[in-house]
Amino acid sequence: MSSTGITVRYIPRAPVVEKMYPYGLFLHGASDLPPPNFPFGPSHAFGLKGDVGNNIAYLDEQTVIYPAGANTIIYNTESKVQRFIPVTDKCEGITAMALSGNKRYVAVSERGERPVCNVYDTHSLRRKKSLVAPETESKEFVCVAFSSDARYIITQSGAPDWTLYYWSWEKSKLMSTVRTANTPVDRTGAGLYPPAQNAAGSGASPANAGSVMVGGTTPGIGGIASVVASATQAAAASATAVASGAALGGAVSQISFNPSDPAQLCAVGNGVFKLFRYQDGTLKAFSFQKVEPKNYLCHCWVPEDRIVVGTEDGKLFLFESNGEQRAEIQHLHSSTLTPIRIQALLGYSKGFICGGSGGSVAIYERNDELPTGVVGQATQSAVVTAQGAAGAAAPSAPAKEFYKKGREFLLHDKVMVMSLALSPSEDNVICSVDTCQIFSMMLASTEMKVGPLV
C-alpha cells in the first residue's frame, strides 16, 4: 500500500486476489470502475470518514455502522464481516448519517449539486427513498435525524441557507421548512468538523475524507494505523477560529426530535439554541428566552423531556423542554481541572455521556443523593448550579434535576471525541475521534476497559 492508493481485498469465485486502485477511484465511482458483471465485490474497507456528522451507531450488540470513504459500512465486530452501502453516482461525499430508533433504517446525506438524503433498509441494504432539498444554494445537509417512531426525518442544510427541512420520508413529502441560522457562516467557523478537503489532504477526493493514508498506512478501526495529521490540524485550526470569537452566531451543529414528541425539534449551533414545534402545517419557533451566546456544539435529550447542551468552553446546560434553563455544569478534566471542549453528548436511562477534548468520555448520572432544597454543589470534577430563566437563583428544585459526574474514560490527550453510541444493553459505548479511529468502552465492567474496536 502506498500513500496514493488504497488496497481493496476482493473475494472472487477463484482464489482470493488483491487489486490496487488509485485512492478512492473504486469506492467513489470513477469512470474506470469494473463493469457491472465484474465477479468481485469489496470485502473490507479500512478507515473512518471523520468529517461526517453523527458518524457511528450500534445496530445490535455485535454490529456497528459508520461511513468509510464513499461507503456506509455495517461491521460485525465478532465475525469481522463488513457489508457495504455505496454512495450514489453523483455523490461528492457523505456529510451526515442517522440510524432510526428501531434500527431498520439508516439515513445517509450526500453532498452534490443539491443536498440529498437517502434512506436505506439496514437488512436488505436497498434504498427506500431519496429526499432532495428544493431550491437551495447549499450543496449539503450537515445534520440529519429520525423521529423516535421512525416516521419523520429532519435535515439541516449548510451555508449559505441554514434551512431545516421536516419530512414525512415514507411519502417523500416535505412538510415544512424553517431558517435556523441568520448569518451565513462557513462550516469551519462553527468548530463542528474539519472541512472535507482539509481532512482528506491536498490530493484526496472529498468523498473519501477521513480515510486518507499517512506514511503508507490507513487509519484503521483497530487504531493500529498512524494518526491522520491533516485532520487533526484542521480540527485544531477550527477550534482556534471559534475560540477567537470568529463568526459567532451562524452555523448549526446538531438537530434532533424530542423522543416523546415528534412535533418538537431542537437545533443548536454557534450562537444558536432554538426550539421548534410543527403545528398547522408549519414549523414555529417557541421559547424566546434569552440564553448566553455561546458556541453550542451538541445536545441530547434526557429523561423527563429535558435537554442537555454542551459548549466549546466546557459548559453543560440543562433545559426544560419549554426552553427554561434549570442548571449549569462546568465540565472539567478530572486531573487537571481544566475545561473540556464538549463535542458529543448521548442520553441514556441513567443520565448522559459526554465526550470531548483530551480524549475524555465522562458518565453523568442523576444525583439522587443531593438533598432536596440544595441549590448548588461544588466538587472537584464539576460545579453544578440551579438557575432561573434570567440566570438568578431559582426556587429550591428536586434533587433529580441534578447530575453528578461518575466514571471518566481517557483515550488519549491528543484526540477529540467526535461521536458517541451506546449498545442496546447499555453495557458498551463506542466513540469516534478526530484521528479517524473508533474506540470501545465497557461500562458494565468494574475495571475501566478501553480499546480500539477491532
Q: Residue 285: which residues within 8 A CB-CB, separation 6 or more? A: 178, 274, 275, 276
Predicted confidence (pLDDT) per residue in 404-451, tens digit: 888 898 898 889 999 999 999 999 999 999 999 999 998 876 555 666
Q: Does 352 map to a domain? A: no
Residue 24 sits in a domain of what CATH number?
2.40.128.630
Q: Decide which of 25 and 62 is more confident.
A: 62
**Which of the four pLDDT bands, split at 50, 70 and 90, describes residue 37?**
low
Q: Does 102 map to a domain? A: yes
Q: Decide which of 29 and 84 is more confident.
A: 84
Hunting for cell 446525506 — which residue is that? 109
**Which of the four pLDDT bands, split at 50, 70 and 90, describes residue 82?**
very high
Hunting for cell 447549499 — which residue is that? 138
Q: Give percent of the chain above pLDDT 70.
A: 66
Q: Which residues of 201-233 are buried (b: 16+ CB within 10 A; e: fewer)?
A: beebbbbbbbbbbbeeebbbbebebebbebbbe
pLDDT at site 298: 97
What's the whole-model pTM score?
Answer: 0.75
Q: Does 334 map to a domain? A: no
| Cell numbers describing residue 82 | 463488513
Average pLDDT, the chain: 76
- CB count in 10 Å sphere of residue 240: 11
pLDDT at site 172: 95
| Cell numbers describing residue 302 | 434526557
Q: Does 416 map to a domain? A: no
Count, residues in the chain: 454
**Which of the four pLDDT bands, split at 50, 70 and 90, describes residue 337?**
confident
Of 44-58, 67-81, 167-181, 359-373, the least confident? 359-373
**Which of the four pLDDT bands, split at 50, 70 and 90, describes residue 300?**
very high
Query: Is the pLDDT assigned to residue 23 strictly greater than 50?
Result: no
Q: How many domains, in total, are found in the chain?
A: 1
Query: Is the pLDDT assigned to residue 375 strictly greater than 60?
Result: no
Look up the domain containing 20 and give its range. 1-245
Q: Does 232 map to a domain? A: yes
Q: Decide which of 327 and 39 is more confident.
A: 327
Predicted confidence (pLDDT) per residue in 2-16, tens digit: 333 333 444 343 333
Query: Is the pLDDT assigned to residue 116 strictly greater than 90?
Result: yes
Q: Does 110 map to a domain? A: yes
Q: Does 293 map to a domain? A: no
Query: Is the pLDDT assigned to residue 17 strictly greater than 70?
Result: no
Q: Does 90 map to a domain? A: yes
Query: Is the pLDDT assigned to residue 18 strictly greater than 50?
Result: no
Half-sphere exposure of 342 (CA within 13 A, CB side): 30
pLDDT at site 452: 67
**Which of the four pLDDT bands, split at 50, 70 and 90, describes residue 379?**
very low
Of 13-17, 28-32, 294-298, 384-388, the least confident? 13-17
Half-sphere exposure of 141 (CA within 13 A, CB side): 30
